[in-house]
């Protein structure tokens, strides 16, 4: 059963990364057909990695590792993929950490979701709520995006589906005040986890950061250790813009973990690599589709294998 489940999980990951993988596979097939592996072939491989948004630095290192391998004249497509996957995984070493609020002793464990509009905050929060309640946890979902009616409604649907309690306020209410009241109430009720959604867009970047910092400040009034986790949600389809977003949020919002969403919607899934390297916080979760089970723990080895189109 566990083996079946694991297979399904990897299949979803591979399915999600199809667009990135097929581009890479195409180049590898062309390269294999044209042995020996000379400088021209290596340049082609490096170009391919840069196109997948791995960035110049990582692409260069991966090709160097690759060149040092000295394949015989009989290197197969899979051997080349194995070698590339290992080189990508090496780039991600130490950049992976598990997200598991239930393994912490903090009760309630408070998670703040931050990121620009459309990155996938609300969806990710909903998926996490569903997973936690399914594991028996008592969860509260907080509609901290108090600026859009649709945002509150969207989150409410997720909360109901998950069987989590839900807290919101009328439009344009103070989000920090809501966060404070929600945390206090969840504590009184002995809940396990509080998931706080936030707005992705305000008048400007400074207003957005001020708002987030205010939420953090009031949470700390209830518990100096809160929020126990601040997840930065980044959309892989924006490619290297994700790096700029990491820079802005990572330097101001006290981010403790990265979620990279929509890896299924792009051929540039390789952007996860430079983001992981630029960020002080590790990658914790990845989104490879819109369903609940499409949010996965980040596993650097599995990700690297899927990225180059290898099977489990
Ligand atoms: N294909 C795919 N779509 C996703 C994934 N994660 C989120 N989405 C979709 O992306 C869109 C935006 O997601 P939201 O969760 O609303 O984004 P948000 O960050 O809350 O956006 P704002 O509330 O505007 O700040 C929705 O249509 C989601 O279904 C993913 O991993 N894969
Ligand atoms: Mg939202």
Q: What is the pLDDT of residues 175-188, one digit of tens each?
A: 999 999 999 999 99
Neighbour count for residue 280 (Cβ, 10 Å):
10
Q: Residue 4: is its pLDDT beyond 70?
A: no
What is the CA(234)–ligand 1 centre distance, in A?
Answer: 10
Mind listing the pLDDT tens digit for each residue in 144-180?
A: 999 999 999 999 999 999 999 999 999 999 999 999 9
**Judging by DSSP bridges, how do beta strands 165-167 and 139-142 pair with one another?**
parallel
Ligand 1: nearest atom to the Cα of 295: 31
Using a 10 angstrom Cβ sphere, with 0-12 exposed, 13-18 middle and 19 or more buried, the burial of residue 40 is exposed
**Residue nearest (by alpha carbon) to ligand 1 atom 1:** 289
Q: What proportion of the chain, given as a percentage, has pLDDT over 70?
A: 96
Note whether 197 and 142 are within 8 A (CB). Answer: yes
- CATH number assigned to the domain covering 101-299: 3.40.50.300
Q: Residue 281: is its pLDDT beyond 80?
A: yes
**Which of the two residues, 70 and 153, has the higher pLDDT score?**
153
Beta bridge partners of 297: 285
Q: What proportion of the chain, given as a percentage, has pLDDT over 90?
A: 76
**Residue nearest (by alpha carbon) to ligand 1 atom 14:** 120
Residues framing ligand 1 (Cβ under 6 A): 115, 117-123, 145, 151, 200, 233, 261-262, 264-265, 287-290, 294
d(CA 47, CA 225): 45
Range name among 23-32, 115-124, 169-178 with the lowest pLDDT average = 23-32
Which of helix, strand or coil describes residue 189? Answer: coil
Q: Which ligand is nearest to the CA of 259?
A: 1
Please choose from 18, 115, 123, 291 the residue to mutate so as to test ligand 1's pocket, defined by most ligand atoms within 8 A of CB. Answer: 123
pLDDT for residue 73: 65
Q: Residue 49: is its pLDDT beyond 50?
A: yes
Please choose from 261, 272, 286, 294 the residue to mutate so as to test ligand 1's pocket, defined by most ligand atoms within 8 A of CB. Answer: 261
**Judging by DSSP bridges, how do beta strands 165-167 and 109-114 pair with one another?**
unpaired
pLDDT for residue 145: 94
**Fold agreement between 2-91 and 101-299:** no
Classify residue 224 by its DSSP letter. T
Note whether 168 and 199 are within 8 A (CB). Answer: no
Give residue 74's pLDDT band: very low, low, confident or very high (50, 70, 90).
low
CA-wise closest residue to 85 among 57, 56, 54, 55: 54
What is the CA(289)–ligand 1 centre distance, in A?
Answer: 10
Cα radius of gyration (the chain):
21
What is the CA(197)–ligand 2 centre distance, in A?
Answer: 7
CA-wise closest residue to 81 among 5, 17, 176: 17
Q: Residue 1: is its pLDDT beyond 50?
A: no
Ligand 1: nearest atom to the Cα of 145: 23
Give residue 6's pLDDT band: very low, low, confident or very high (50, 70, 90).
low
What is the CA(1)–ligand 1 centre distance, in A?
Answer: 31
Q: Which ligand is nearest to the CA of 291?
A: 1
Average pLDDT over residues 257-284: 96
Ligand 1: nearest atom to the Cα of 125: 15
pLDDT for residue 284: 98
pLDDT for residue 170: 95
H-run or E-run covering 59: helix 56-67
What is the CA(21)–ligand 2 centre distance, in A?
Answer: 29
In words, the CATH class of domain 2-91 is: mainly alpha
Residue entry with tokens 């391919």: 48
Average pLDDT over residues 195-207: 89
Cis peptide before 274 (omega within 30 of 0): no
What is the CA(227)–ligand 2 centre distance, in A?
Answer: 19
Using a 10 angstrom Cβ sphere, with 0-12 exposed, 13-18 middle and 19 or more buried, the burial of residue 204 is exposed
Average pLDDT over residues 90-104: 97
Q: Which ligand is nearest to the CA of 143?
A: 2
What is the CA(172)–ligand 2 centre distance, in A?
Answer: 15
- List the domain boundaries for the chain: 2-91, 101-299
Q: Residue 190: is its pLDDT beyond 50?
A: yes
Q: Residue 238: is its pLDDT beyond 80?
A: yes
Average pLDDT over residues 275-297: 96
Q: Which ligand is nearest to the CA of 235?
A: 1
d(CA 108, CA 110): 6
């Amino acid at each position: 059963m566990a083996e079946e489940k694991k297979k399904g999980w990897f299949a979803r990951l591979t399915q999600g990364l199809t667009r990135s993988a097929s581009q890479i596979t195409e180049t590898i097939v062309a390269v294999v057909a044209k042995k020996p592996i000379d400088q021209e072939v290596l340049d082609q491989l490096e170009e391919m990695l840069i196109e997948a948004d791995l960035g110049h630095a990582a692409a260069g290192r991966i090709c160097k590792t690759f060149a040092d391998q000295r394949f015989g004249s009989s290197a197969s497509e899979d051997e080349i993929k194995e070698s590339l996957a290992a080189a990508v995984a090496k780039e991600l070493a130490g950049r992976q950490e598990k997200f598991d609020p239930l393994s912490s002793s903090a009760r309630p464990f408070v998670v703040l979701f931050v990121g620009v509009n459309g990155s996938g905050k609300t969806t990710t929060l909903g998926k996490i709520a569903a997973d936690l309640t399914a594991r028996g946890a008592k969860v509260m979902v907080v509609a901290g995006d108090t600026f859009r009616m649709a945002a509150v409604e969207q989150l409410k649907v997720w909360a109901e589906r998950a069987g989590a309690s839900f807290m919101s306020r009328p439009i344009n209410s103070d989000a920090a005040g809501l966060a404070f009241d929600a945390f206090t109430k969840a504590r009184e009720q002995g809940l396990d986890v509080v998931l706080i959604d936030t707005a992705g867009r305000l008048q400007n970047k400074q207003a957005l950061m001020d708002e987030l910092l205010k939420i953090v400040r009031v949470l700390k009034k209830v518990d100096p250790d809160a929020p126990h986790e601040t997840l930065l949600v980044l959309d892989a389809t924006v490619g290297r813009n994700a790096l700029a977003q990491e820079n802005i949020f990572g330097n101001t919002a006290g981010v403790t973990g990265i979620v990279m969403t929509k890896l299924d919607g792009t051929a540039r899934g390789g952007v996860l690599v430079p983001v992981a390297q630029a960020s002080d916080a590790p990658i914790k979760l990845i989104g490879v589709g819109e369903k609940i089970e499409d949010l996965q723990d980040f596993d650097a080895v599995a990700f690297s294998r899927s990225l180059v189109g290898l099977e489990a």
